Structure 1
Amino acid sequence: MAELMEKLRSRASASRAQVEELRMQIAALQERLAEEEDRLSRWAVAEEALNELLAEDEAPGSVDVTPTAPSGQASVAAAVVERVVVSAPVTRADGKVLGEANEDVVLALASAGRPLRAKPICEAVGWDLDHRRVERMRVKLKRLVKQGWLIEGEVGLFAIAPGVGDPPDVGGRVNGTAVADA
C-alpha cells in the first residue's frame, strides 16, 4: 500500500511540475502577444497617418478608386466614383477646423444622430468591412477622441464631442472670449 501511495505522490508531483512549466510558457506567450499587438497597433497608426497624408494630397473632385471584389464580384458601389464634396468644413467652437481626411467620420456620426461603433462607421463612409479596415477605423476614432473631436462614452461607442460643429462667434470670439487662430 505504501508503494502505491509513493507512486501516486510521484505522479502528482510530476503533474504539478508540468502544470507550472505550462503556466510559465503561457506567461511568456502572453508577453510576446502583448508586444506583437503593440507593434501591430503602431503599424496601423503609421498606415493611417500615411493614408491621411495621401488623402490631403488629393485635389477636390479627384477620382476615388475603391478596391473591388475578386473577378466579377464587384458591386456598383465598389466602382470608380467621382467625389464632389459640397459642405462647409467641420469646426469647433474654439475655431479649429477638422482636416478633410476625417470629415467623413464626423459627418457620418452627425447623420446617424447617435453614438456608433467602428464597423457601422466604416460602412457609412464606404470602407470595406474586413477586420483590418475596422481596426484602422477604430485607431482613427481613438485619435479623434484624443484630439477632442469625438467622445467615447462606452468602450468602443463613439459620438461627436460637445462643441463640434459650433462655429465661433463673429469676430473670432466664443462667449465673449477671443479665440486664438488654429
Structure 2
Amino acid sequence: MPINLSKGQKVDLTKTNPGLTKIFVGLGWDTNKYDGGNAFDLDCSVFCTNSAGKVDKEKNFVFYNNKQNENGSVVHNGDNRTGAGAGDDEQINVNLSAVPATIEKIAFAITIHEAAARNQNFGQVSNAYVRIVNEVDGQELIRYDLGEDFSIETAVVVGELYRNSGEWKFSAVGSGYRDGLGGLAKDYGLA
C-alpha cells in the first residue's frame, strides 16, 4: 500500500525501505477534452542539483533530448508525445546508490511543450500524479496526486528526491510556473 502525500508533505524513502537502491519515478496526466484544437505534448524534465539548488553541469539536466545524467544514475525512459492510455506517461529510473555525492536533490517537473504557441496551460490538464516504485519488485511506495489547483501555469515541479543525513527522502512539491521550461531552467541555474 503506497503512502499518499499531499502538497508540501515529506516522507523518508530509504530509511523506511532498508536496502532500497533502484526505483523508478512514474509521472502521468490526462488532458481535458476542450483543448482548443491543438495536440498536447507534456514532458518530464529532471534537474539534478547541488547543495545550492543549481544544476552545475548541463548533463545533469535530464529530459527527452538528454536521457541520462553525468554518470547514468538518473535515466529518462523516453518521450510520450500523446499521453494516451492508462498508467504512467513517462518514467525516470534512479539508482539511488549511484547518484554522485555532489547531487543533493533530484527535482521532477512536467512541462507543456510549446504551451504559449498552442495556448495551453495546466488548467487544461487533469489527473496529474507522480509515484515512486521499487524497481526490483514493482511495489508502489509513494504517490502524490497533484489535484486541479492550476490555471495559467505551463510547468509544474511535482516532487523532489533529496538527501538528508545519508538517507533519501521525497517531498511533494506541486509548484507551478507561468513561464514554462524556460522559467524552470533559469531557477535551476541553466539559463
TM-score (norm 2): 0.21
**Structure whose alpha-carbon radius of gyration is higher:** 1
More strand by share: 2
